[in-house]
Amino acid sequence: MIPRFAHARPGSFDEAFAAFDAAGGDAAWYAGGTELLQVMKMGLARFGTLIDLKGIAGLAGIAGDDAGGLVIGGTATHREIERSPVVHAVAPALAALAAQVANPRVRNQGTLGGNLCFAEPHSDPATFLLAAGARLDLRGRSGRREVAIDEFLVGPFATTRAADEILAAVLVPAAAPGEGRAYEKIVFRERPAVSVAVRVRVADGAIVEARVVVGSMTDVPAVVAGAGAALAGSSADGGIAEDSLTAAAEALARLPAEDDLDGSADYKRHLAGVLFRRAVRAAVSEALARA
């Protein structure tokens, strides 16, 4: 049973900060509540006041920015991201990812901002957004600050967000000409056991830049620099060179991992290699279409 708590639903940032102050700091922001209420029910967290952010105008919006990227409001749900024409046009892999988050209840109720702030190590969006180079718009009493997602996520269930800051929006850059992005995962018990996101840029028929991120195997999504470096210079038009794929997979095989209910460490490293090959081929295919 969830302990009793007070509830506030502000209509602006100023009202939200006032509600937080009125609670004496014993408060938590929420939007969908799909994760927060679960941990409270399990007795792992307790707050005297819950502050619902859905009433703040603009936080649920999804729009393009002046540079062709995305501005996704912190309270936008996974379902809204899945169905957004703007997301489909700018970042189709993100729309496809959103369609596969957890289960229908979570997709309809859960929000992107809540997912990132909860910082569950098995988050779908965090892995893709790290590969895409997303930045986060945080609002506090002193104003706005912008932080890269890799600086935001610092550990399991830990971020650099201050308790009285609100994640207002996720900023996803536009794909450059010749750039492709892809995300692959394998799921046990409605969450990814291993996930891989790949961003590549091609020019003159070759991969000139690559970023490979593995999620769910480590405390936070991990950029595998060796895998990205192994892809650089490989042919893209005639199929990716097998020696490049092998070298990248070897870099993935050196990732730290632990045996758990999802399988042994070696099994998860093997899965990462399989997912990587799928993701890089999908990313290259998109990149060639954008070239």
Q: What is the DSSP string of 236-265?
A: STT---HHHHHHHHHHHTTS----BTTB-H
Is residue 37 pLDDT above 90, yes or no? no
d(CA 77, CA 50): 19
The band of 163, judged by pLDDT with boundaries at 50, 70 and 90, is very high
Class (C level, CATH) for 179-290: alpha beta
Flag whether the pTM goes above 0.85.
yes
Looking at residues 122-137, what average pLDDT do you find? 97
Write down the CATH number for the domain with range 6-52. Answer: 3.30.43.10
- Residue spans in the chain of domains classed CATH 3.30.43.10: 6-52
**May I ask the CATH architecture of the domain 62-172?**
2-Layer Sandwich (3.30)
CATH 3.30.390.50 range(s) for the chain read 179-290
Structure tokens at 289: 């279409």
CA 9, CA 239: separation in Å to the nearest integer?
A: 53
pLDDT of 43 reads 86
pLDDT-derived band at 96, boundaries 50, 70, 90: very high
The boundaries of every CATH 3.30.465.10 domain in the chain are 62-172
The answer to whether 137 and 144 have CB atoms below 8 angstroms apart is yes
Radius of gyration of the chain from its Cα atoms, rounded to whole angstroms: 19
